[in-house]
Amino acid sequence: MLRRPRRLRSTKAIRNLVRETKLQIEDLIYPLFIVDGENIKREIPSMEGVYHFSVDMLEDEIKELTELGIEHVLLFGVPDDEKKDCCASEAFNPEGAVQRAVRKIKEINPQMDVICDVCMCEYTDHGHCGILTDSGYVHNDKTLNYLGKIALSYAESGADMVAPSDMMDGRIGALRNALDENGYETVAIMAYSAKYASAFYGPFRDAANSAPAFGDRKTYQMDPANSNEAMIEADLDIAEGADIIMVKPALSYLDIIRRFKDNYDLPIAAYNVSGEYSMLKEAVKKGLLSEDAIYEAVMSIKRAGATIIITYFAKDIAKLINTKK
């Protein structure tokens, strides 16, 4: 028998030597939810171990992330209801929670890579990701102007990167122009290129208080049945100046991650979303799965082709990697 694949599985050292996919702490981005107020560190009921933070409570969290070796955070703003309006004006308030959080994080650790999600759903009184027409349809081109204002506000606060998640047509070009015209050519754009209208976002909408007041988001987020459409979206984002392209969610869309990897030379991000996180957390908590399932699931995202993984498991994975060093 010429080939015996088991030879390379015979010892732990040999398995380590020939392992094809290895998770690194540098691959990971940790999401943070920023709220108004003071002295707030509040666990999100549907996402065990994930918290709302007021800006004054960020220091210990950022120091922990730094000690673990996590170099990247993705910020989401969760404003008070009374600050929401039809055009998400709080999202581009220079003294908004996210803007203050960016400055605070840079004060705590100037080397921390701060990425800001750019969308309007958390900030609008209707919960949709743009400006509505009288009939309740999201007006694509009017929305672009506001997305540019939001991205520019984050850049002015010191963000290293912006991540538009709205799924409006032409948004990457609009943001790139807004940033470049105001002297922020070095601020990168991580595009949510293939963001699906997924059932796995439930806990996030609880965390961000961003569920739509009516209808759904299927007129702008992608149909989960479509694969070729993801390639069209990625092509457009790259042509408009995206620096990184993303697939969201991750675990149910590993085939899309693989297609991106096979067709594009840009860095590829994948968002291991809230529903995927809570589902695994609950399974481990109930003893249905071991904690090894968490590492296996996140590793599968990298194996599929993602070079960047946004995950609420970032701290868990970092701790595991550090114990193996």
Where in the chain does DSSP place strands (E)? Answer: 28-35, 41-44, 47-54, 72-78, 113-118, 131-132, 138-139, 161-164, 188-195, 244-248, 268-272, 308-311
pTM (predicted TM-score): 0.95
Which pLDDT score is estimated for 1? 84
Residue 312, domain member (yes or no): yes
pLDDT at res. 325:
65
* Catalytic member of 22, 104, 106, 195: 195
Q: Assign residue 90 the CATH number of its domain.
A: 3.20.20.70
Tell me the Cα Rg of the chain.
20
Residue 227 lies in a domain: yes
| pLDDT tens digit sequence for 224-258 | 999 999 999 999 999 999 999 999 999 999 999 99
Task: Indicate whether 4 belongs to any domain.
Answer: no
- Whether 180 maps to a domain, the answer reads yes
Q: Which residue has the tokens 């990298």?
A: 302
Separation of alpha carbons 98 and 270, rounded Å? 22
Element (H, E) at 209: none
Which candidate, 31, 203, 200, places its Cα nearest to that of 117? 31
Q: Tell me whether residue 83 is one of the annotated catalytic residues.
A: no
- Phi then psi dihedrals of residue 162, to 5 deg: -120, 150
78 CB-side CA count, 13 A: 22
Does 17 map to a domain?
no
Residues with pLDDT less than 70, the chain: 208-211, 213-216, 325
124 by Cβ neighbours in 10 Å (0-12 / 13-18 / 19+) ranks as buried
pLDDT tens digits, one per residue of 87-98: 888 999 999 999
Q: Residues 203, 256: contact at Cβ < 8 Å?
A: no
Domain that holds residue 118: 24-324
In a domain, 71, yes or no: yes
Q: Does residue 16 sit within a domain?
A: no
Q: What distance, in Å, lies between the first and last C-alpha atoms of the chain?
A: 37
Residue 19 lies in a domain: no
Check: CB of residue 187 under 8 Å from CB of residue 162. yes
Q: Is 248 a catalytic residue?
A: yes
Instruction: Please pick, among 248, 281, 302, 315, the residue that the annotation labels catalytic.
Output: 248
pLDDT of res. 41: 96
Angle, helices 58-68 vs 314-324, to 10°: value is 40
Q: What is residue 59's DSSP assignment? A: H
**Cβ 298 vs Cβ 23: under 8 Å:** yes
Q: What is the pLDDT at residue 203?
A: 83
Q: How many structural domains is the chain composed of? A: 1
